[in-house]
Structure 1
Amino acid sequence: MIGLNIYLLRHGETDWNLEGRLQGHENIGMNQNGINQIEKAAEVLAGCMQNVDVIISSPLSRSTKER
């Protein structure tokens, strides 16, 4: 049997998160702390992602923004 690894990652912090506001499908970008959170997560996940077959992501900028 082939092993299956599933990784779930939420977008980084936004100003609306800090204010307790619901974002829904509003395209609210990450704040600097959120960007720092995602950069750290990317470092942690980099060693786990050699044989990834599928990545599923929200189309919102807070989920897809590249460095």
Structure 2
Amino acid sequence: MDKMIARLAGPEAIIAGVAAHIAGEFNWSLLWTRVIGTMAVVFNPFIGGLVYLVLALLIKNKPRDF
């Protein structure tokens, strides 16, 4: 539980830091990564939400260089 709270408190994290982590790994724009992720959840809430939840659980909490 402490790891999840630390992820939520991070400066890059909006919810769980999934978009920030993906943007950092692939050197993508954080803004556009969040926009595309939000669009996926808005247009297909079940699949988009499920993918986001799975990624939030799978991405390890490691220090980011960006």
TM over 0.5: no
Structure having greater relative contact order (Cα 8 Å, sep ≥ 6): 1
TM-score w.r.t. the length of structure 1 is 0.33
TM-score w.r.t. the length of structure 2 is 0.33
Which structure has the greater CA radius of gyration? 1
